[in-house]
Structure 1
């Protein structure tokens, strides 16, 4: 899979179309992954994203301990793993191993990145205790961004291969995939 760096001023474009994401985290020897449907760009300079991480999740414990996390954008090929990552707890089991999710090292954080995804954003938590406690809302400053050049080139998504289209959760366990591009240049 050809991976390219994405300039940080364009990092928001990796999430602007509203995909379901896999949030990976690590603290010490422990690691975890969970699915999140509520994740979006927040700011351009420096680039920031927001993601909702429920208080009861193991991922939240790891993020609180480490102050960092990764956003991985899965394609259609990872639908089953995405559903399972969002349904099962990783507190007692290694979900990466259980779901056969390959990982590779991030460049700026300790959380693993997930192979087979089409985009990756490495994030450091911007501390906002009120938002985290009251709304489960985490702000992450994007410190590195990469994408699969088969689908993200010249700062834009190009979904020519249906298997690489991103997933969009629409409730009740149902997903749509990114559709045909219209407009733009």
Structure 2
């Protein structure tokens, strides 16, 4: 399938770099004529090739219901400018109506999965569930193989994040509505 325009394709062998700095994500899901989005602070990359991720999704959520039915999901990385909507996405249920509409969150079509890409984010990972019933039931932990990865080319290029606009840096949820924004990047010599 074609790339969602105007996004930059990220090589799957570098997909882990989109999550490696630990951002809060929006989890998008869809099945049939239903779709949903929720926030998740507990997520991480797991492997390089094929790229894999993990995310905790509570059994009571509509997102979980849709993911279990479709076997697919999207992890989207919102910037600081979407912090209010990210908090709202994690604070209300999609069972009460379409959260994308309620949050005025536009979507882009994904290339490999049915779940939409929440527009305005800075990175997206399209994932297929790696079925692990025990850890899903016991820990609410879902593993996914990344089948497509995208990034805003103004924020990610040459295999690295760069945040020229503070309002677009990734966010990290603590609790009670408190977030941290990703700060300035720096490099150290690993030979010491």
TM above 0.5, one fold?
yes
Write the distance in 2 (CA, Å) between the matches of 1:167 and 1:184.
23
Residue-pair matches, total: 185
What's 1:67 paired with?
71
Structure 2: where are the runs of 5+ without partners?
none
What's 1:88 paired with?
92
Write the distance in 1 (CA, Å) between the matches of 2:132 and 2:88.
29
Where in structure 2 are the equivalents of 1:111-130 lying within 5 Å? 111-130=115-134
Match of residue 156, structure 2, among 152, 158, 164: 152
TM-score by length of structure 1 reads 0.98
Q: Aligned-pair distance for 1:2?
A: 4.3
**Contact 1:2-1:150 at 8 Å conserved across structures:** no
Q: Aligned-pair distance for 1:163?
A: 1.3
Match of residue 8, structure 1, among 4, 7, 12: 12
Q: Tell me the alpha carbon deviations over residues 15-58 of structure 1, each in whole angstroms, 9 at most, x when there is no partner.
A: 00000000000000000000000010001110000000000000
**Contact 1:131-1:138 at 8 Å conserved across structures:** yes
Match of residue 114, structure 2, among 104, 110, 113: 110
Match of residue 137, structure 1, among 141, 152, 164: 141
Instruction: Please state if 1:172 is matched with 2:190.
Output: no
**Contact 1:74-1:118 at 8 Å conserved across structures:** yes
What's 1:28 paired with?
32
Structure 1: where are the runs of 5+ without partners?
none
CA RMSD of aligned residues (A): 1.2
What's 2:62 paired with?
58
Q: Aligned-pair distance for 1:167?
A: 0.6
TM-score by length of structure 2 reads 0.94
> Structure 1: which 4+ aligned runs deviate by more than 6 Å?
none
Match of residue 183, structure 1, among 182, 187, 191: 187
Q: Tell me the alpha carbon deviations over residues 141-167 of structure 1, each in whole angstroms, 9 at most, x when there is no partner.
A: 000000001010000001111111001
Q: Aligned-pair distance for 1:171?
A: 2.0
